A and B are shown apart, each in its own frame.
Chain A
Amino acid sequence: MLFDPGLQPERTELAWRRTALALGVGSLVAVRLLPAVFEQPAWVFVGIVGLIVAAVLWFAARQRYRVVTEVLMHDGDRAVLPGAALIVALVAVVFVSGLAALVVVLLAPMRELT
């Protein structure tokens, strides 16, 4: 049964999954690049954490979609939708990734990937 002909819940799930993919691709590049650039294997964990978060977002997208459609079916369009916890978590992840990127940029003049 389709609640919304505009397919908003579906589009929102896809938006979360697109975001997970963007994070995943960036993390794969980080896994490949950072240990090589800084000649230090420990840097691989930056990318690995990113991959884990991307996987969590990917599955959370489907879970969130299920919750949203369930709630909309029962409570109509004035429903109480899932809360902001996932949004806050995503902000934190991207912010920390940004700080890591800043470290990389500041240390990079000493090393270069040619």
Chain B
Amino acid sequence: MFGTGAEPDARFTLANERTFLAWIRTALAFLAGGVALALLGLDLNGELRLAASLVLVVAGIVTPLLAWLGWARAERALRLGKPLPSSLLGPILGVAVSVAGALLLLAILLK
């Protein structure tokens, strides 16, 4: 798969793959949420609703890239017997959900 290091235990490689796929499904959920929010005919403040949608969709766009990066870095760490790198994905998505939720709350309150 890569040129460097030794082949890691296959179970770790498969676990890494499943982690990547979980992030991909998360990205799809973010995209679906952002689009649904934009398309449903809800009585909300227009600008704030758009902002919430954009936060969700941008998070969904960024996530597959970071998931791929995380998968590649973990694979490299496994091959070289080094500690697994930490990922920015958790904090970023956590913040995105909170920000989108806050914007949505404001959109409801300030319609």
Q: Which residues of A contact B (CB under 8 A)?
A: 4, 6, 8-9, 11-12, 15-16, 18-19, 22-23, 26, 29, 33, 37, 68, 72, 77-84, 87-88, 90-91, 94-95, 97-99, 101-102, 104-105, 108-109, 112-114
- On chain A, the residues within 8 Å of B35 by CB distance are 101, 104-105
* 4 further contact pairs, Cβ within 8 A, besides A26-B28, A94-B24, A102-B57: A72-B10, A87-B68, A90-B24, A98-B27
Please, how many angstroms separate the alpha-carbon atoms of A78 and B14 in the complex? 12
Q: Report whether B25 and A12 are in contact in the complex, using a CB–CB cutoff of 8 Å.
A: no
Q: Report whether A91 and B41 are in contact in the complex, using a CB–CB cutoff of 8 Å.
A: no
For the complex, would chain B's binding face be called helix, strand, loop or mixed by DSSP majority? helix
- On chain B, the residues within 8 Å of A113 by CB distance are 39-41
- On chain A, the residues within 8 Å of B8 by CB distance are 78
Please, how many angstroms separate the alpha-carbon atoms of A87 and B28 in the complex? 15
Mask, B59-77, CB within 8 Å of A = 1, is 0110111011001100000
Q: Which residues of B contact A (CB under 8 A)?
A: 1, 6-11, 13-15, 17-18, 20-22, 24-25, 27-29, 31-32, 34-35, 38-41, 46, 50, 53-54, 57-58, 60-61, 63-65, 67-68, 71-72
